[in-house]
Structure 1
């Protein structure tokens, strides 16, 4: 549960070509539902508090993960990152705005992320039957 943002962009401890999978079993829903924990990671990423060890690793890898569309992330990390980012954009836009100002000041990567999620949603809707079953 300490890992709030490994999911944001799954960045804790870079391996040669992938980020570590050490934290892949973190319960993202538990992190999202813990406002205090969420705020602590946001503050860490914004240099407002001293970071925990995992927060420091996350912060160190954040720019690379954002610029390279989480290319070094495992599939599970990408899923968690997507879930957390969408949660922040939809439910905590004030947090997302601060993070975007620091890590994506042009908004280019956020725009690409939202467009990619829209394309996936549209593609998924194409394969939905009248009963709601998805193919």
Structure 2
């Protein structure tokens, strides 16, 4: 009986969500895009054109997996931030949006599912 309880506990532990850790899950994305020098600094980081500030790097590290898995391990705040980021990128930096997509999803296999999932947040 104890073995069954231990196995159930292990299965339950293995099934718990393991969310990404980022530098800040409370970013005001509208303010981010209003600050053009900061937005450019982050975009240059994301496109490997410049060194990354610590906060930008915390997001950049999760992009490949988060995009490929439709943000499966993103918490609600991260999904909201990612959605707002992509919408702001499309609206204010359309060419950068295309470059971002090409860099992180060169075969266009994942972005449609990603955007569908995070649009709910």
Shorter-chain-normalised TM-score: which range?
0.7 to 0.9
Alignment match, 1:13:
none
Alignment match, 1:88:
89
1:68-125, CA deviations, whole angstroms, 9 ceiling, x for partnerless residues? 11111111111121111122123321111111111011122223345x27x96xxxxx
On the 8 A contact 2:105/2:111 being kept in 1, the answer is yes
Which of the two has higher C-alpha Rg? 2
1:49 aligns with 2:66: no
Alignment match, 2:40:
39
On the 8 A contact 2:22/2:59 being kept in 1, the answer is no
Q: 1:68/1:20 Cα in 2 relative to 1: closer, same or farther (>3 Å)? A: same
Query: Unmatched 5+ residue regions in structure 1?
Result: 1-15, 121-135
| CA distance in structure 1 between the partners assigned to 2:103 and 2:21 by the alignment | 24
| CA distance in structure 2 between the partners assigned to 1:60 and 1:78 by the alignment | 15
Two-structure CA RMSD over aligned residues (Å): 2.3
1:31-66, CA deviations, whole angstroms, 9 ceiling, x for partnerless residues? 021111111111111111111222223222210111
Alignment match, 2:20:
19
| CA distance in structure 2 between the partners assigned to 1:53 and 1:90 by the alignment | 25
Query: Unmatched 5+ residue regions in structure 2?
Result: 1-16
Report the TM-score when normalising by structure 2.
0.72
Higher helix share: 2
